[in-house]
Structure 1
Amino acid sequence: MKPWLLNILACPIDKHHPLDAYFFSWETSEDEIKKITMEASVPSEFFKKNYAHIAKQLVDGTISPASIHRIVDKSESEYSKRLLAIAVDATLRLEQVPDKCEEDLLGEFPEDIDVMY
């Protein structure tokens, strides 16, 4: 999903991670957002390489669950709000994994990795 660049708001004064991110509208059509939401948590072989990249970023901290929790969807899209809630739930499960490695995340949590993608 692509947000309109000018409709992303993060507080530039707060230099601490994570920043709050507010999304007010999406460039992606509502029908496409609905399709993405309905297909979330259904892993696809087509995105296998992308899943590996997401798992790597979760392990090395490039994607932080705390930052996902700080996203606020102020758009009119119920589907994007639902997808964000699914992503937050996925991060809560992934945070509980002790000593996680990329292979473990990909093997044990493919649905959650798909949601994060």
Structure 2
Amino acid sequence: MTSTAAVAAGAVSVGIAVSTAAVSAAIGTGVAGIVRDLNNDKHESMSAYEPHDPEEKCWILAIEKGPGNVRVLRFNSECDARMRFHKSWSIRVLYNPDGKEVATAGWNPWARGTIRRVMKNAYFAH
């Protein structure tokens, strides 16, 4: 192997190592954000398994805080609800005061399905 080939091979190895470290750091940061978000609700959340009062008109942010643990956060204004929606790392579904889904975000389709099912069959069931 020539010295140029050896240098090139070394550069490729360093490039792979740097890329692997960067991806691992990005994943670690994402996981840390999700864990922090799950445990850091400053807004009081309540169980989504209890039906809500249909007379109470508020914006609802539904999140899954662990498998099957669907929680709701209620907001008086759309602005506050959307701000919290966009700050969250959790799987989440935003509902307007009429109970219609208006936004969803997050990478886990199974958790999103759980949220939708619980909201339809328990929280919005009246």
TM-score (norm 1): 0.29
Q: Which of structures 1 and 2 has the bigger CA Rg?
A: 2
Higher relative contact order (CA 8 A, sep 6+): 1
TM-score (norm 2): 0.27
When you count strand as a share of all residues, which structure comes out higher? 2
When you count helix as a share of all residues, which structure comes out higher? 1
